[in-house]
């Protein structure tokens, strides 16, 4: 089967600045923002113009280039002080995806090792982070697809494709590769309330690739499994703790519980930049709480009675014992635990 085209990108560096595809407007409109300063990129991450753990990390790396360019132009003799402030603000834009802090620390450590104008070297580093992520996604796509038997149907949650990464995707990369290998009968996608990453982004990506996709409301996932209609649930992650516990979009834990109950296998796909060996277990992962309004409305229109309140955790924690396999570019871990995760990350 011909290799799927890989044209979708969430971000692109240009001399004018960092271009971000505004994912808040998809699938109805494809519009790009061109951001020229670090603070604007931090706001764009917070406001989910760009989202998805690896995409957030790559975007932060480019934001570090913008910060260095601005600070060095303003004060060549003492650009580091302002740069450090920019990096702190950037790192605080969203708390759960460890890729953000990983990228900020990697860029800041490099920046402070440089003499003279840091921008050219930092830009090369940011571009390397971007390219390495894409390469990792193709590797994970092949490795994950190899776990899937011919004739399988799969369910995915949220968006883990080119829009959530540097390109191709993590869990959606596995689905792309498995489809290219003629292994899949059907692909199901949870709409993923309240932000609708599945309905608005995953479905859009798969339609672009001419891969048939069937959307379902999140509450239908367990019934789909009870009907025996999927053999795998395949998801991404925003942070994997040292013991293999996984933080991912809200609704992932429910899917994992239902999958285990119904004998459906559960795969987590994430680059090693998502693994946080400094966090012992899932209980120690910060869970982002987002605005109540995201639950109380849809498409900008209220859907709840005026006066109702909402609880809006953006992520939940799936314990390692509910995960059959974690796929990274460094290797595959079956039935993850701390020992296995540590051996993967050495």
Ligand X SMILES: CSC[C@H]1O[C@H](OP(=O)(O)O)[C@H](O)[C@@H]1O
The catalytic residue positions are 238
Can you tell me which of 59, 93, 170, 202 binds ligand X, judged by CB under 6 A? 170
Q: Determine which residue in the list 59, 93, 139, 160 makes contact with ligand X, applying CB under 6 A.
A: 160
The structure tokens listed for 120 are 């050219």
Determine if 141 is a binding residue for ligand X (CB under 6 A).
no
Q: Is 57 in the site for ligand X (CB under 6 A)?
A: no
Query: 133-157 burial, b if ≥16 CB within 10 A, otherwise e?
Result: bbebbbbbbbbbbebbeeebbbbbb
H/E stretch holding 204 reads: helix 203-208
Could you say which residues in the range 75-134 bind ligand X, by CB under 6 A? Answer: none
Among 21, 41, 53, 285, binds ligand X (CB under 6 A): 53
Beta bridge partners of 14: 17
Q: Looking at 126-134, 156-164, 220-228, 304-312, which segment touches ligand X (CB under 6 A)?
A: 156-164
Residue 238 touching ligand X (CB under 6 A)? yes
Ramachandran area for residue 232 (φ above 0: left; ψ -120 to 50: alpha; else beta): beta
245 binds ligand X (CB under 6 A): no
Strand boundaries in 6-99, DSSP class E: 11-14, 17-21, 32-35
Which residues neighbour 186 within 8 Å (Cβ) at sequence distance 6 or greater?
153, 154, 212, 214, 229, 230
* Nearer to ligand X (CB atom), residue 108 or residue 248: 248
Instruction: Compare residues 17 and 251 and give the one whose CB is closer to ligand X.
Output: 251
CB of 342 to ligand X, least distance (A): 22
C-alpha–C-alpha distance, residues 58 and 11, integer Å = 9
Is 158 a residue that touches ligand X (CB under 6 A)?
Answer: yes
Buried/exposed 260-297: b ≥16 CB within 10 Å, e otherwise? bebebbbbbbbbebbbbbebeebeebebbebeeeebbe
Phi, psi of 240 (to 5 degrees): -110, 120
Instruction: Tell whether residue 197 is a contact of ligand X (CB under 6 A).
Output: yes
Among 71, 143, 176, 249, binds ligand X (CB under 6 A): 249
173 in contact with ligand X (CB under 6 A): no
Nearer to ligand X, 53 or 267 (CB): 53
Q: Taking CB under 6 A as the rule, does residue 318 contact ligand X?
A: no
Q: What is the rounded (10 degree) CA torsion for 66, 70, 75, 77?
A: 20
Q: Which stretch, 163-171, 257-265, 276-284, 337-345, contacts ligand X (CB under 6 A)?
A: 163-171
The span from the CA of 63 to the CA of 61, in Å, is 5
Q: Examine residue 54 and tell whether it contacts ligand X (CB under 6 A).
A: yes
Task: Pick one of 57, 95, 194, 236: the residue that binds ligand X (CB under 6 A).
Answer: 236
Would you list which residues are annotated within the binding site for substrate? 51-53, 94, 197, 248-249
Out of 44, 51, 230, 319, the residue judged to bind ligand X by CB under 6 A: 51
Q: What does DSSP say about strands 297-298 and 301-302: parallel, antiparallel, or unpaired? A: antiparallel
- Contact positions vs ligand X (CB under 6 A): 51-54, 158, 160, 164-165, 170, 197, 235-236, 238, 248-249, 314
């Amino acid at each position: 089967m011909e290799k799927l085209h890989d044209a979708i990108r969430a971000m692109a560096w240009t001399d004018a600045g960092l271009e971000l595809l505004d994912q808040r407007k998809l699938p109805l409109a494809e519009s790009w923002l061109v951001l020229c300063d670090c603070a604007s990129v931090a706001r764009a991450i917070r406001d989910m113009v760009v989202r998805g753990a690896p995409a957030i990390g790559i975007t932060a790396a480019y934001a570090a280039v913008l910060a260095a360019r601005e600070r060095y132009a303003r004060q060549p003799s003492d650009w580091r002080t302002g740069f450090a402030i920019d990096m702190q603000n950037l790192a605080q834009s969203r708390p759960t995806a460890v890729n953000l802090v990983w990228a900020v620390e990697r860029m800041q450590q490099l920046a402070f090792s440089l003499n003279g104008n840091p921008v050219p070297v930092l830009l090369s580093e940011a571009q390397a982070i971007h390219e390495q992520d894409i390469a990792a996604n193709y590797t994970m796509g092949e490795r994950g697809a190899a776990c899937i038997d011919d004739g399988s149907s799969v369910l995915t949650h949220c968006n883990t494709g080119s829009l959530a990464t540097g390109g191709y995707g993590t869990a959606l990369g596995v689905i792309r590769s498995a489809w290219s290998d003629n292994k899949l009968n059907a692909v199901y996608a949870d709409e993923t309330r309240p932000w609708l990453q599945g309905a608005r982004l995953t479905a859009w990506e798969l339609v672009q690739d001419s891969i048939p996709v069937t959307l379902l409301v999140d509450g239908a996932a367990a019934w789909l499994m009870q009907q025996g209609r999927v053999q795998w649930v395949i998801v991404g992650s925003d942070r994997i703790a040292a013991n293999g516990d996984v933080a991912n979009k809200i609704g992932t834990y429910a899917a994992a519980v239902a999958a285990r109950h119904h004998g459906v296998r559960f795969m987590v796909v994430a680059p090693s930049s998502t693994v946080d060996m400094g966090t012992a277990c899932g209980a120690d992962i910060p869970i982002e709480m987002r605005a109540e309004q995201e639950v109380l409305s849809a498409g900008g229109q209220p859907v709840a009675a005026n006066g109702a309140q909402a609880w809006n955790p953006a992520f939940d924690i799936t314990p390692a014992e509910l995960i059959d396999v974690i796929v990274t570019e460094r290797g595959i871990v079956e039935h993850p635990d701390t020992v296995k995760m540590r051996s993967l990350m050495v």
